[in-house]
Amino acid sequence: MATTKPIPESDAAIEQRALEIRRGLRKLNRSYWTLWFLAVLIMLALTVAVVTLAMTADDSPADAFYHLGLSQAVRGLVGIVLLFSVYTLHQQIQLMRTRRSLAEQVEISTEKHLLAEQYLKLAMLDPLTGLHNRRYAQERLATEMARAQRGRTSLTVLAMDIDDLKAINDRHGHAAGDLALKAFGERLSKAIRGSDLAVRIGGDEFVVLLPECGLEQVQIVLERLEGLQVRFDSGTAALQFSAGWTNYQAGETAEQFLERADQALYNQKQGRKKPVPVEISDARLK
């Protein structure tokens, strides 16, 4: 039987649930104060009654009607105590129900909050590599560009892709290709600083945001990525990659910034594909 994933609550539903919990807490608080007030009131009444009876007991006449009235007063006090005990018991039951209901609502709200965090995490992360995805990168890039322009600091975008990933898929299978992407993502995460952001754009394409990192420091990141080998069931492959990078220019848009990084990557790949010119000596021409 197919199972359906729970749908996260909307902001209005979450606010309504929080409002119900606050109302329940206020009601619980009022009930506690009411019980305390009634308990104090009953204790004062009993104290006054006991003191009054004690003061009149010694001077009580031998009149039968007087003793009958005194007996009825005592019964009345006992009745009041019994009624208060019953009322207190009833209120305690109501408070227990209210407390249980609030506990259930808090538990539901906690589960909904954790579920919302999971959905948010899935919306920001690439499920294969664990890196952030394009959606989150766009938001973060806008923030970093504004910070760089405001503080006049450097911001570098490093664009990369894995060479010959298709050949790995064809030779070792798509599971091996996924393993290669995952291994490259893990190495990339370790190669950057905590303030940097590694992103899988899609397929074999990756982008790294490097705040306050000069172009010369990019080489440090690239050197940490060198020599990566991935072992498959059918063999081992050395992962090679291409990279292009550029620095942020004040006033340009995020699209222009990323486009220049992509162009730098394209130029680097094209430069690697050009044949190396061979010098022909005069002796070979003769």
170 is catalytic: no
- Residue 137's nearest CA partner among 116, 158, 162 is 158
- Report yes or no: 167 and 215 within 8 Å, Cβ to Cβ: no
Structure tokens at 151: 């503080």
Q: State the catalytic residue, choosing from 170, 204, 262, 282.
A: 204
Tally Cβ neighbours within 10 Å of residue 210: 24
Structure tokens at 40: 């104090």
Strand stretches in the chain, DSSP E: 155-162, 197-202, 205-211, 229-232, 235-238, 241-247
What's the CA gap between 153 and 80, in Å, rounded? 79
| CA contacts within 13 A on the Cβ side of 64 | 0
Sign for the CA dihedral angle at 210, 214, 219, 220 comes to: negative
What's the CA gap between 76 and 9, in Å, rounded? 55
Q: Going by C-beta distance under 8 Å and a sequence separation of 6 or more, which residues neighbour residue 141?
A: 157, 209, 254, 257, 258
| Size of the chain, expressed as the number of residues it contains | 286
Write down the residue that tokens 């906690």 correspond to: 110
Return the active site residues: 204
